[in-house]
Amino acid sequence: MIEHEKYKGRVIDVHTHIGSCDRYKTIGLGFFWSKLSALELIKHMRKRGIDYAVLLPAEDVDDLEDEGFYIPTDCVL
């Protein structure tokens, strides 16, 4: 039995990111989510029984763009 199957309500991931959007792509990061496109995130969610996700940007914090980690709000929207 998959762990989420015992719950009767909706499963919501309240904090997630993607690794590529339009011309932006995270680089040099080893995190799982940093390798996901929007479509890959949806596949990941379906596989694990996640109904909804709150997709968050990563922008302008300590010049993260220079470090290769920049997914702006307009892409998330």
Domain count, the chain: 1
- Centre a 10 Å sphere on the Cβ of residue 41 and count the other Cβ atoms it contains: 19
Q: Tell me how far apart the alpha carbons of residues 68 and 77 are, in angstroms, rounded to a whole number.
A: 20
In this prediction, residue 1 carries a pLDDT of: 43
Do 34 and 19 touch, CB atoms closer than 8 A? yes
User: 26: domain range?
Assistant: 3-76
Its pTM surpasses 0.85: no
**pLDDT (tens digit per residue) in 52-67:** 999 998 776 665 555 6
According to the model, what pLDDT value does residue 21 have?
87
User: Is the pLDDT score of 9 beyond 70?
Assistant: yes
Alpha-carbon 57 to chain mean position: 9
The label of the residue with tokens 């998959």 reads 2
| pLDDT surpassing 90 at residue 23 | no
